[in-house]
Structures are given as structure tokens and as C-alpha cells.
Amino acid sequence: MAPAATTAPPVPTGPEPVALPPARPLDAIDRDILRILQTDGRASIRSVAERVHVSRANAYARINRLVEDGVIRGFGARVDHERAGQGASAYITLKIVQNSWRTVREQLQALPGATHIALVSGDFDVLLLVHTPDNRALRELVLTRIQSIPEVLSTRTLLVFEETDLGPRPDRPAELA
């Protein structure tokens, strides 16, 4: 019998990709749990269990399975970067040497302020979102750190003037359907 825990199960951390088991289908209770945790990542197991009408042990087991399966990748705070002293934000597009994605990704992950890295199709290869204290720090990051990566052929910096973080949208249940 599973213990009646009141805290969330541990989540794997670190940049190393972990081999995940094949995805299992989500049922309505799993989707409800995901919606609750997207809206309030600090919700207790007890609160989640009550809201989806299952036992605490069942809720704990389901959340643990969602973590183990890689459906839940972590629990964290949504940060207002400007209020946190990171007033300059930019999307940086990169063209990279063919087949160098993994090497470039490792180097970009180590950059201060990098919050999202994506391999994309189109006119460029990589889209990077960064937050820095100011434009001087952004300039230093692009010209000194990113452009010095040997596999980076070119960059283009798109300054963010204003941003709206949509975050979880419990009013749009089709997201997890």
C-alpha cells in the first residue's frame, strides 16, 4: 500500500536527457491533475486528491507516474524577469553547422539567462530566448559568448519590447484533451 504522502514526488533535474518509457494514455483524472498542477504547482497531494475525487494514495501514484513517464517535467515558479532584475529579453536566432545541434545545445544551456532553446525549421536552425539585466549584458552575451561558439554560423537578435506569459490556461481544457 502506498504511503499517504502530502508532498509531491521528486522530479528528475539536470540537462542530461533521460530515457523515458513509452507514453501511456492519459485518462480524464490524469488530465484534471495536470490542469490543477499547471495552475498551482504548489498544490498539495491532499488538495489534488480532493479536487479530482480520488484517494491521496491514488493521487500520489498518478502524479508519480506522470513524473516517471516524463509528462510532468518539473515544478517551478513563473518569474517576472523584469521585476527579478532581468530587464532585457531577446529571442536570438542562430544558423549552425549541420549536425551540430547537440553540441550547440550543450553550450547554450550553460549561458546565463538562457530560458528556452529550440531546434526549428525555416530560415534559421535554433531559437534561443534569453533574459539579461540590461542591453549591455545582452550585447556581451551575443557578441562574446554565443558568436564565439565555433558551430554558430550567424545570429540575429530580436529584442522583446513587451511580453505576455500566457502560462497555464485552465479556461481552455482542449490543451490536454
> How is the chain split into domains, by residue range?
7-13+25-78, 88-160
84-123 per-position pLDDT tens digit: 888 899 999 999 999 999 999 999 999 999 999 999 999 9
Yes or no: say if 58 and 49 are a contact pair by the CB < 8 Å rule.
yes
Matching CATH number, 7-13+25-78, of 1.10.3720.10, 3.40.50.300, 3.40.50.150, 1.10.10.10: 1.10.10.10
Average pLDDT for runs of 10 along the chain of length 177: 46 54 86 91 95 97 93 84 87 97 97 96 97 96 97 97 75 50
Matching CATH number, 88-160, of 3.30.70.920, 3.40.640.10, 3.40.50.10320, 3.40.50.1370: 3.30.70.920
pLDDT at residue 10 in the model: 52
pLDDT at residue 129 in the model: 97
Task: Say what the pTM is.
Answer: 0.69
pLDDT at residue 163 in the model: 84
Concatenate the DSSP letters of all residues of 139-154 into one string.
Answer: HHIIIIIITTSTTEEE
pLDDT at residue 165 in the model: 77
d(CA 174, CA 81): 29
pLDDT at residue 78 in the model: 80
